[in-house]
Structure 1
Amino acid sequence: MLKKLLSFVIIIFTALFISACSDNERQMYVGKSDNWEVNYGREENFAIKYIGEESMPKTEINYIIVQGLRTTDGNSPLNSAGVMSIKRPFREQNDDTNIKVTINWEGYSEEFILESR
């Protein structure tokens, strides 16, 4: 009887652990504009990628990320693949809170919202 009870408890804890981990791993926010694509996920990085048809910006880009009451901004160049990565602790969003991204470069500006995937 004790063996059956112990086996049952182990199975329940394993199932709970797996379901909790799988939900966290899937949480990701993505957004896209005419020239930019942004991904933000559990690895705690914002990946900003240039996807425009014109040549890649040669100067630093300015980014502003607004997440609830938290704002992160800065200037940085893109790497040779047109990507910039920003380290920032991951914070899951409530349904009523958006992540707004504004990117400014070479006299242009685009703003868009990241959506949960």
Structure 2
Amino acid sequence: MKKLITILFLAVLLSGCIGGEQYLYSGKSQSWSMTYKVVEAQSGSQQVEGTLEYIGAGTAPETIGYSMNSVIRGQSTTNVPVTDGKVTLQNGSCVDCAIIQEHTKIKVEVIWDGKSETFNLDEEES
């Protein structure tokens, strides 16, 4: 009986995390291409995930730093390992945080090996 109650509780809890809007963003610079997805849940939380891919000449760097900024939110990370020319951005979720809304402008800066490139992510049509 406890298992059934636990399963029902988890189903109700997780149902608040689905059914929201989904926004897809992408952009690139001379050396980097990025995709970014934001899933807004009905419960006032959001899930984000993304990938940075090295498209420049030569060998991809071993580590990078990057920052992402919008009007309502910013994040930055350093010493992120690059594997097979790709970086999986910190997947995460937040509750009662500054939710990224539709048509949000996002600016990305990537820093590696003494170089830096900045580009914007544009929202893709769904």
Instruction: Tell whether the structures are fold-level matches, with TM greater than 0.5.
Output: yes
Aligned length: 92
Alignment of 1:14-93 (within 5 A): 24-25=21-22, 27-41=23-37, 42=39, 44-58=48-62, 60-75=63-78, 76-79=80-83, 81-86=84-89, 87-89=91-93, 91-93=99-101
Q: Please tell me the residue identity of whatever aligns with 2:34.
A: V
Structure 2: runs of 5 or more not aligned: 1-18, 40-46
Q: TM-score, normalised by structure 2?
A: 0.64
1:82 Cα offset (Å) = 1.1
Moved over 4 A (4+): none
TM-score by length of 1: 0.68
8 Å CA contact 2:52–2:87 kept in 1: the answer is yes
Structure 1 counterpart of 2:5: none
What percentage of aligned pairs have identical amino acids? Answer: 28
- RMSD in angstroms over aligned alpha carbons? 2.1
Question: What 5-or-longer segments of structure 1 have no aligned partner?
Answer: 1-20
